[in-house]
Structure 1
Amino acid sequence: MLELRLDGRHPVLGAFAAQVREGDRICLLGPSGVGKTTLLNGIAGLDPQLRPVIEQRAGLRIGYLFQEHRLLPWRTVRQNLALVGAGAAEIERLLAEVGLSGAADSLPDQLSLGMARRAALARCLAIKPDLLLLDEPFASLDAERAAELRGLIARLLDRHPDMAMICVTHDPRDADDLANRLWYLSGSPATLRCDEPLAAGSRIDTPLRRA
Structure 2
Amino acid sequence: MLELRIDRLAYDKVVVENIRTRVMPGDHVCLLGPSGIGKTTLLNAVAGLVPRLPENAVVGRDRIRLAYLFQEHRLLPWRTVRQNIRLVGASDETIDRLLADVGLSAHADSLPDQLSLGMARRAALARCLAIEPDLLLMDEPFASLDAERATELRYLIRTLLTRRPGMAMICVTHDPADATELANRLWYLDGTPATLRWDERINGTDEVGTLMDCLRGGVLA
TM-score between both structures, scaled by the size of structure 1: 0.95
SS in 2 for 1:183: strand
| Alpha-carbon distance in 1 for matches of 2:124, 2:61 | 25
CA distance in structure 2 between the aligned counterparts of 1:140 and 1:203, rounded to whole angstroms: 27
Q: Deviations over 1:97-134 (max 9, x none)?
A: 11101010000000000000000000000000000001
Kindly tell me the number of residue pairs found equivalent between the two proteins: 211
Deviation (angstroms), 1:6 = 1.4
Deviation at 1:156, TM superposition (A): 0.2
Superposition map of 1:42-191 within 5 A? 42-52=45-55, 53-56=57-60, 58-191=62-195
Q: C-alpha displacement at 1:187, in angstroms?
A: 1.1
Alpha-carbon deviation of 1:57? Answer: 5.2
CA 1:9–1:166 in 2, change beyond 3 Å: closer, same or farther? closer
Question: Could you tell me how far apart the structure 1 residues matched to 2:185 and 2:9 are?
Answer: 26
Shift of 1:206: 3.1
Structure 1 stretches lacking a partner, 5+ long: none
SS at match of 1:80: helix
What is the CA distance between 1:201 and its match in structure 2?
5.7
Q: 1:203, CA displacement in angstroms?
A: 4.4
Q: CA deviation at 1:82?
A: 0.5
Matched residue type, 1:172: P
In the alignment, which of 21, 24, 48 is matched to residue 24 of structure 2?
A: 21
Take 1:51 and 1:146, find their aligned partners in 2: how far apart are those partners? 36
Q: Quick check: 3-12 or 13-22, which moved more?
A: 3-12
Distance of 1:149 and 1:25 partners within structure 2:
16
SS in 1 for 2:208: coil
Are 1:5 and 2:8 an aligned pair?
no
- 1:24 positional shift: 0.1
Residues 118-165 of structure 1: CA deviation (Å, up to 9, x unaligned): 000000000000000010000000110000000000000000000000
1:195 corresponds in structure 2 to: 199
Deviation at 1:202? 4.8
Structure 1 window deviating more from structure 2 (9-18 vs 59-68): it is 9-18
Structure 2 unaligned spans of 5+: 217-221
Amino acid at match of 1:92: D
Distance 1:57 1:9, change over 3 A: closer
SS state of the match for residue 16, structure 2? coil
In 2, the alpha carbon distance for the partners of 1:6 and 1:58 equals 16
Deviation at 1:8, TM superposition (A): 3.0
Q: Which runs of 4+ in 1 moved over 4 A?
A: 200-203
1:14/1:188 contact within 8 Å kept: no
Cα deviations by residue, 1:154-180 (Å, 9 ceiling, x for unpaired):
000000000000000000000000000
